[in-house]
Amino acid sequence: MAGDEPSIKVIIEGTKYGVEGSLKKFKRLCESAGILKEYRKRKEFKKKSVKLKEKKEAAVNRKAKDRIKTRKMNKV
């Protein structure tokens, strides 16, 4: 990001959607832009080796979950 300029400009129209609707719209915009995901990612620094280890563990868990699902499907 360059300086103080925001990357996304949001105009909240309180009269059209109401405050609640505008807040929901803002949350959807943030989610679709990936702002929260990026914030959580940058919150703490992780070494490459730690990221790789977590990625491998996630893959193992996914495969185990898939195996359990296929066993249940085969029993039915």
pLDDT range class, residue 39, cuts 50, 70, 90: confident
Does one domain contain both 39 and 68?
A: no
- State residue 56's pLDDT score: 97
* CA 22 – CA 13 distance, rounded (Å): 7
**pTM, to two decimals:** 0.48
Q: Could you tell me which residues come within 8 angstroms of residue 13 by beta carbon, excluding any fewer than 6 positions away?
A: 22
What is the arithmetic mean of pLDDT over 20-37?
85
Report residue 76 as tokens: 């039915």
Given a cut of 70, whether residue 14 has pLDDT beyond it is no
pLDDT greater than 50 at residue 1: no
Only one residue has tokens 């039915």, namely: 76
Question: Do 14 and 35 have their domain in common?
Answer: yes
Do 14 and 49 belong together in one domain? no
Could you tell me the residue range of the domain that residue 59 belongs to? 45-76
Supply the pLDDT for residue 58. Answer: 96
Same domain, 49 and 39: no
Q: Which pLDDT belongs to residue 50?
A: 94
Does residue 33 sit in the same domain as residue 50? Answer: no
